[in-house]
Amino acid sequence: MAEHSLPADIERSSMAIIRAELAERAIELPEEYAAVITRVIHATADFDYAQTLRFTPGAVRLGARALRQGVPIVTDTNMALAGVSKPGLRKLGGEAYCFMAEPFVAENAREKGTTRAAAAMAYAAERYPGAVLAVGNAPTALYQIEREIRAGLRPALVIAVPVGFVNVVESKERLFAACEEFGVPAVAAMGRKGGSSVAVAICNALIYTAADMLDPADRGWQ
């Protein structure tokens, strides 16, 4: 039998390796953010996130509190939606949604000359104004959220982690600045790196924190 073949054992060993390597790099994570940062590193094997993830004050605490209250999560991709912990959400009484594939979103995008991601977030702002908004792919979704915030939207939390080269850096910076200005909790991966896997890792870190499931044994893993 291969060493560390059980899921819980693999995760615990991975987290121990991450903590050891962070110590070797003389990186000390703030306690409030440690669960989020280590889970992102676990999902990506990229220690740059220890430096590039930014948090508005109290973002993790406020995001976890919102999830305990059953606030929904809205993602910008079905890939991210698939990765969000459904057992964790069920324990919290919450749901997760993605509207990218909805025909009415595509129609709205065509009518307004924008992207489906932007149209999907506009719909989310209308349907679930206090949701956790998790964006791992589309800078245009962040621009739309920024516009909505400046127009009065107050999400429970914005997770801003698109990946790529066009408008990625700028959209994160503008969104984060708007969140700081209007007191909206936010987590952002500054720079070009990110992606749906990072958005999922942040969502799940918050879900596990809110549901007391950070240890895999508390998720029923062996």
Q: Which residues are catalytic?
A: 42
Degrees to nearest 5, angle at CA 136 with 168 and 151:
75
CB neighbour burial string for 174-195, b if at least 16 within 10 angstroms, e if fewer: bbbebbeeeebbbbbbbeebbb
Whole-angstrom Cα distance, residue 161 to residue 39? 14
Q: Which helix (H) or strand (E) holds 39?
A: helix 31-44
Residues 84 and 73: beta-carbon distance below 8 Å: yes
